[in-house]
């Protein structure tokens, strides 16, 4: 074990013993989120719809919150039936641990994919502000726990869900979705990636937060590795010629880890801005002293040629720090 890895492990262990807690701790002390200048979201996702940005993420014990913005930098707290909850726990399956939402507009309906009580779920609404409701209050995958579900629709119209299973640590799987986008074809379950690179082995065995995009005919999956509690949480990417894999991780990973003054940066999603540029939204620790409440940040993403087999995805080290109330 080299000195660098040993130091990283020590840092992560210190973080664990000092601050160990589950994602639900993002809800502590956020009864009035406007008291935080930065947007207090873990596992963030951004939807651009009709000129407005909508940010969703892990924050509330009672459901999924939403913030709105015109420019990605200044965010507002909408006034909804249940505060700024786009999804309220009484309208869906589960009563705790509402994590990692993603929202997509498809044929006039908004689909929110999220985790509740460590099960993947989907709810729908006719507005990006909600309310998001489950008609049948059951998880997408009922037989086992799974989290961090992410939708990808290919050019041929087939839809896939990437998600995390708890076998040999956290690892990423994929399944083809049913036509109504509310279920999966279990016979198509396929393992995508697990911990396999040195930088991912700090603590513990985690590959999670997948997000897939197609670029120049190749599938790119960004993912996070190491525990979200670790200062060494970061983002890598893998490529494949098929939605099912095999996936090959980029040798230059991680492409995002401790940018600037941030630590614990990870669980990200891609989106296009009004300027047509590609961006990545991610969270980082509250500070060097505390993990929660995690905060949302945004960086521009580029694909650069030079590799003989594929364009390399790069995340710019400079980032936007979204704030509330301006």
**CA 313 to each of CA 163, 207, 283: distance values in angstroms, whole numbers, following the listed order:** 21, 18, 19
Q: Which residue of the set 26, 176, 201, 208 is catalytic?
A: 208
List of residues 6+ apart from 164 with CB closer than 8 A? 146, 147, 148, 170, 171, 172, 173, 207, 208, 209, 210
Which candidate, 242, 244, 271, 268, places its Cα nearest to that of 254?
268
Q: Which residue of the set 26, 43, 148, 201 is catalytic?
A: 43
In 190-208, which positions are buried (b, 16+ CB within 10 angstroms) versus exposed (e)? Answer: ebbbbbebebbbbbeebbb
pLDDT tens per residue, range 135-160:
899 999 999 999 999 999 999 999 99
43 annotated active-site:
yes
Name the least confident of 33-47, 78-92, 238-252: 33-47
Query: In the predicted model, is pLDDT for residue 289 greater than 80?
Result: yes
Element containing residue 236 per DSSP (H, E): strand 234-240
Quote the CA–CA distance of 30 and 25 in Å, as a whole number. Answer: 10
Stretch 40-64: mean pLDDT? 98
156 annotated active-site:
no
* Strand order through the sheet with 312-315: 266-272, 278-284, 295-304, 312-315
CB 175, CB 139: distance < 8 Å = no
3-state secondary structure of 7: helix
pLDDT tens per residue, range 250-271:
999 999 999 999 999 999 999 9
Q: Which fold has domain 3-324?
A: Tachylectin-2; Chain A (2.115.10)
Which candidate, 256, 237, 239, places its Cα nearest to that of 247?
239
- pLDDT at site 25: 58
3-state secondary structure of 133: strand
């Amino acid at each position: 074990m080299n000195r660098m890895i040993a130091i990283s492990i020590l840092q992560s262990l210190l973080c664990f013993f000092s601050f160990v807690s589950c994602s639900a701790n993002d809800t502590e002390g956020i009864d009035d989120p406007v008291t935080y200048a930065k947007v207090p979201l873990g596992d963030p996702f951004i939807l651009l719809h009709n000129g407005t940005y909508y940010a969703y993420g892990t924050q509330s014990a009672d459901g999924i919150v939403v913030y709105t913005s015109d420019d990605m930098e200044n965010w507002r707290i909408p006034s909804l039936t249940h505060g700024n909850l786009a999804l309220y726990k009484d309208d869906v399956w589960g009563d705790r641990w509402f994590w990692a939402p993603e929202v997509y507009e498809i044929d006039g309906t908004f689909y929110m994919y999220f985790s509740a009580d460590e099960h993947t779920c989907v709810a729908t609404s006719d507005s990006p502000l909600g309310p998001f409701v489950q008609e049948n209050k059951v998880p997408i995958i009922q037989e086992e726990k799974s989290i961090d579900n992410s939708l990808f629709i290919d050019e041929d119209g087939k839809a896939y869900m990437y998600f995390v299973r708890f076998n040999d640590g956290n690892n990423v799987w994929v399944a083809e979705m049913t036509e109504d986008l509310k279920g999966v074809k279990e016979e198509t379950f396929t393992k995508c990636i697990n911990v396999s690179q040195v930088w991912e082995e700090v603590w513990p065995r985690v590959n999670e937060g997948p997000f897939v995009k197609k670029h120049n005919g190749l599938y790119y999956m960004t993912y996070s590795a190491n525990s979200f509690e670790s200062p060494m949480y970061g983002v890598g990417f893998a490529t494949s010629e098929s939605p099912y894999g095999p996936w090959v991780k980029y040798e230059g990973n991680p492409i995002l880890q401790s940018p600037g003054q941030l630590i614990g940066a990870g669980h990200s999603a891609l989106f296009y801005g009004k300027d047509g540029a590609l961006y990545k939204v991610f969270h980082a620790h509250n500070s060097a002293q505390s993990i929660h409440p995690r905060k949302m940040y945004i960086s521009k993403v580029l694909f650069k040629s030079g590799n003989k087999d594929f364009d390399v995805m790069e995340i710019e080290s400079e980032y936007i720090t979204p704030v509330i109330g301006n």
